[in-house]
Structure 1
Amino acid sequence: MSAARPLRRGKRSIFGQFTAAAILIAVIAVVVLFAVTTITVQRQTRASLSATVSTDMAGLIDIYATGGREELLRRVADRQAVVSLDARRSHYLLANAAGKPLAGDQPRWPQINAARSEQGFITLADGTAVYAQGAMLAPDLQLLVAREYQRDRAALVVLSAAFLGVGAAIVGAVALVAWITARHLARRMNAVNAALGAAADGRAASFPARQRGGDEIDEMAGHGTRLLARQAQLLKAYKQVSEHVAHEIRTPLMHLDNRLGAVMKERPEPPGGPLAHAREDIRGIATMLDSLLDIASAESRRGDLAGLAELDLSALLTGLAELYEASAEESGLTFETAIAPGVTMLGERMQITRLVSNLLDNAIKYVPEGGHVRLTLSPGPRVAVEDDGPGIPRDQHERIFQRFARATLPGEKPGHGLGLALSRAIAQRHGMLLRLGDGPTGAQFILEPAP
């Protein structure tokens, strides 16, 4: 088991969203520009065809008006052989009111209304796509003028292909730049998160080096560096002051205890006298100071692998169970065990022993006579100490792990409220989590790897 927790990363990265958004915007921009360009070119092509056909139609109408029907028939025949300057081939049809051809290269009248001078894109009898206009010259005479636009359509296809190619290149370039930028930013942010995660777990933390010029991430990393340095300084000062105060108080207390012991030898008093009570209070205070020092030491070494070794947890708990069987029997309790063999962990034997001993001491202390205490160990490792005593109110499940905090239970026993605080500090020092379970009756303390 490792005492350090891995950095947890969210399933969705803001930088991944940034890359996707950049690509989406680029795609939308290219599509919109392509649509606008295509529509504009098509409109211009239609306007050009319409102007060309209308001009040709107007010229033939003028010939008919000035030269008559025979002149128009001759001119239509002549124009069929002429290729326009814009390379758009022309088609003509001069027909009677019934649509019978009189001149031109078309065998029949197409679907276009000459009476209304209709114009638009149509398909001729041979399947040729053209832009045409019809006109009624006389009650028994109608004229059709058409222009092919295959070249315009081919030019539009080439333009579209070129536009899409350039657009794809632009989208690809945007995607590449966005991906490289997002990847670079993600690496920097992951480094910052790793440093903060290491600091939160009590491990050594170092922020990434400042980039040239600096930016918001560098500014955040700088603030984080100063914050961690300040935190480390405060914790160091707190630990030094706590240890100094504890040692300074403990020494005179022990001297005072020795003096009281000497006085009691010179002037014996009945059992339970005031001097005996005073010595008990002194020893209680000394024990409390020792616990505070142990808590500070465990918290300061959280996540530190130094001093930890492979520990046979099954053998350790089996030995503890043998010791506590007698204590439980003296208290009128039934002590049960279910210890899986071969379970190991990376830990410090004395600290793990003290942690489990605190839990068993509490169970034996608070479970009334005739009750049950159970110690279990399963792979994971997962240690559970359960009893059928009065239990702990749900609203106090977290409070009891604080220093000097004790559950409000009937028949409260004396104590300083440091045992569970020390047990949790030891658990955290080993990368474990000590919590209260939701047993049906009594209390259930569970020790398992931290998530």
Structure 2
Amino acid sequence: MQRVSLLDSIFTRLVAWAIAVSIAVVLVLGWLVTTKFEQMSDATVQWNVDADIRHMSDILAARGRGELIAHIEESADIDRPAGTGSHFLLLDIDGHRLAGDLAQWPRFADEQTQAGTIILSGGRPAFARAVNFPGGMRLLAARETGWTIIQLNQIGLSFVAGGLFVVMAVGVAGYITARRLSDRVKLINAAFRDPEPRKLAALSDGQRDTDEIGELTRHSGEALQRLQRLARSQRDTTDQIAHEMRTPLMHLDNRLIRAIQAQEQARDPDAETTERLVAARGEIRQVVTTLESLLDIAHSEAQRGDPQGLAEVDVSALAENIADLYTASAEDTGHDFRLEAEAGVTMQGDEIQISRLITNLLDNAFKYVPSGGRVRLIVMRRPDGAPLIAVADDGPGVPAQFRETIFERFGRGENASSDQKGAGLGLALARAIAERHGMELRLAPTTRGARFELRPHG
């Protein structure tokens, strides 16, 4: 039975979603913060440029042109941190430079507003605005925006580092939580796969938790215990019924044996009475055999999916031992019987039950295939490594309308006659054994005869 790995666990997928959401949240927050900071920085730079222009205008109005030129020259000589410098250019009515540290008048993207981003020498970006002063003078004031870019880069790096920390924290915390939750669910699955006392005890240890998985653990433990009680009760009931029925039947069989012996030892034995006693004894033994088969079917169905009692079985060796027993019988009945088995084919199973399954299939084949027909016992590995056991013959085959009913209790094909012994339980028992081992017994399509295959589901 396939077990869910941690990578396929729903908890791992939840952690992956949590990491994805964390990354998305960090990216959105980073975008919002940087966008807002950039807007605030641009507004601050524009306000500072407008403040410089107002200050220059006040100087011109209060002190005159000469004082304005002197103030611009003094401002150009001030050493500021990189990316925060102020720059000016004052032109007269003829476009001649009067003052400032800029060599030439820049070209704006929007000539109507005479404001926008310009590129200074050395590729430094700046925001500039141009205004006209009285007397035909034109002033250009600019503030560098490089510091804003540096701050945006620092904010971006901080968000990247913080985002990585958040994602790692979510991943580690999520992994620990997913591992713990997965281990708790594994206890439940292990108890369902193999409800042995040790695993049920481990399941009861997780019943103290008060969350949803704890509640699921409690319900699972209670359900498994109820199922075990029901299974034990069913086994006890069927065993008791079998004992109560088998005992009087065996007593009756013993009485018939004594009656037959008395008839044989009588001076004037009645052949007809003896024949009837023998027939009655045969019917009693047939009833006992049918009862035992029904009990075997019930036990196999009750153990479906239960790995207890299963071990590694060498199917190849088992098939060889069974073939040795049937070879002599095949010579007596005139059948061509062959074993076609690969070496080393193994499977998890109950050796006695697998042997019972194979012998039931062989008995069924020898029963319906006429003398001179061919019967094959095949053991091989499928391409995926799983075992395949098949019994094939070239007999009359099974009509389409009986391909499934023959696996039912007391189901018999149209080729069965009243003189053929059996109650139609052999294939029903074989299928029950197959399902008990988690496998499928099916009638494979053939052009001639019948081919019964035991193989994994699917």
Cross-structure match for 2:363: 361
Per-residue deviation, 1:271: 7.9
Indicate yes or no: 2:336 matched with 1:328: no
Q: 1:18 aligns with which of 2, 8, 14?
A: 14
Query: Partners in 2 of 1:162 and 1:306 — Cα distance?
Result: 60
Instruction: Structure 2: give runs of 5+ residues left out of the alignment.
Output: none
The equivalences for 1:297-446 within 5 A come to: 303-305=307-309, 312-329=317-334, 333-340=335-342, 351-378=353-380, 382-392=388-398, 397=403, 399-402=405-408, 404-412=409-417, 413=420, 415-427=422-434, 434-446=441-453
Indicate yes or no: 2:251 matched with 1:255: yes
Per-residue deviation, 1:346: 7.4
Per-residue deviation, 1:292: 2.8
Q: 1:179 aligns with which of 175, 194, 207?
A: 175
Per-residue deviation, 1:361: 1.4
Q: Which digits, 9 at most, give the CA deviation of each residue in 1:150-182, with x for residues without a partner?
A: 333333333332233222212221121111111
Decide whether the 8 Å contact of 1:7 with 1:197 is kept in 2: no
Task: Mark the CA change 1:308 to 1:243 in structure 2 (over 3 Å): closer, same or farther.
Answer: farther
Q: 1:128 aligns with which of 124, 131, 144?
A: 124
Task: Mark the CA change 1:426 to 1:327 in structure 2 (over 3 Å): closer, same or farther.
Answer: farther
Per-residue deviation, 1:289: 1.5
Cross-structure match for 2:30: 34
Number of residue-to-residue matches in the alignment: 441
Cross-structure match for 2:270: 268
Per-residue deviation, 1:148: 2.3
Cross-structure match for 2:144: 148
Cross-structure match for 1:106: 102
Task: Mark the CA change 1:272 to 1:436 in structure 2 (over 3 Å): closer, same or farther.
Answer: farther
Task: Mark the CA change 1:388 to 1:97 in structure 2 (over 3 Å): closer, same or farther.
Answer: farther
The equivalences for 1:59-98 within 5 A come to: 59-65=55-61, 69-81=65-77, 88-96=84-92
Q: Secondary structure, in 3 states, of the residue corresponding to 1:210?
A: helix
Query: Partners in 1 of 2:110 and 2:5 — Cα distance?
Result: 73
Query: Partners in 2 of 1:370 and 1:224 — Cα distance?
Result: 56
Per-residue deviation, 1:184: 1.2
Per-residue deviation, 1:369: 5.0
Task: Mark the CA change 1:419 to 1:271 in structure 2 (over 3 Å): closer, same or farther.
Answer: farther
Cross-structure match for 2:293: 291
Query: Partners in 1 of 2:7 and 2:369 — Cα distance?
Result: 46
Query: Partners in 1 of 2:98 and 2:312 — Cα distance?
Result: 109
Per-residue deviation, 1:211: 6.2
Q: What is the one-letter code of the residue matched to 2:361?
A: L
Query: Partners in 2 of 1:441 and 1:37 — Cα distance?
Result: 78
Query: Partners in 2 of 1:144 and 1:221 — Cα distance?
Result: 77
Query: Partners in 1 of 2:163 and 2:323 — Cα distance?
Result: 73
Q: Which digits, 9 at most, give the CA deviation of each residue in 1:56-104, with x for residues without a partner?
A: 2123234445655445334433433457899943211112466432221
Query: Partners in 2 of 1:203 and 1:183 — Cα distance?
Result: 24
Cross-structure match for 2:242: 246
Q: What is the one-letter code of the residue matched to 2:28?
A: V
Decide whether the 8 Å contact of 1:107 with 1:125 is kept in 2: no
Decide whether the 8 Å contact of 1:316 with 1:353 is kept in 2: no
Decide whether the 8 Å contact of 1:92 with 1:104 is kept in 2: yes
Query: Partners in 1 of 2:93 and 2:432 — Cα distance?
Result: 106
Task: Mark the CA change 1:291 to 1:13 in structure 2 (over 3 Å): closer, same or farther.
Answer: same
Decide whether the 8 Å contact of 2:327 with 2:337 is kept in 1: no
Q: Secondary structure, in 3 states, of the residue corresponding to 1:415?
A: coil
Query: Partners in 1 of 2:412 and 2:345 — Cα distance?
Result: 32
TM-score for both structures, normalised by structure 1: 0.83
Task: Mark the CA change 1:307 to 1:167 in structure 2 (over 3 Å): closer, same or farther.
Answer: closer
Task: Mark the CA change 1:103 to 1:115 in structure 2 (over 3 Å): closer, same or farther.
Answer: farther
Query: Partners in 1 of 2:344 and 2:49 — Cα distance?
Result: 96
Decide whether the 8 Å contact of 2:341 with 2:380 is kept in 1: yes
Per-residue deviation, 1:34: 0.8
Decide whether the 8 Å contact of 2:311 with 2:348 is kept in 1: no
Query: Partners in 2 of 1:443 and 1:130 — Cα distance?
Result: 91
Q: Per chain length, whose mean CA-contact separation is higher, i.e. which structure has more relative contact order (CA < 8 Å, sep 6+)?
A: 1
Q: 2:281 aligns with which of 279, 292, 300?
A: 279
Query: Partners in 2 of 1:62 and 1:279 — Cα distance?
Result: 133
Q: Which digits, 9 at most, give the CA deviation of each residue in 1:257-279, with x for residues without a partner?
A: 34445556277253896555443
Instruction: Structure 1: give runs of 5+ residues left out of the alignment.
Output: none
Identity %: 35
Query: Partners in 2 of 1:396 and 1:108 — Cα distance?
Result: 102
TM-score for both structures, normalised by structure 2: 0.82
Deviates more, 1:237-246 or 1:431-440: 431-440
Query: Partners in 2 of 1:221 and 1:398 — Cα distance?
Result: 39
Decide whether the 8 Å contact of 1:83 with 1:90 is kept in 2: no
Decide whether the 8 Å contact of 2:368 with 2:415 is kept in 1: no
Query: Partners in 2 of 1:166 and 1:389 — Cα distance?
Result: 77
Decide whether the 8 Å contact of 2:406 with 2:413 is kept in 1: no
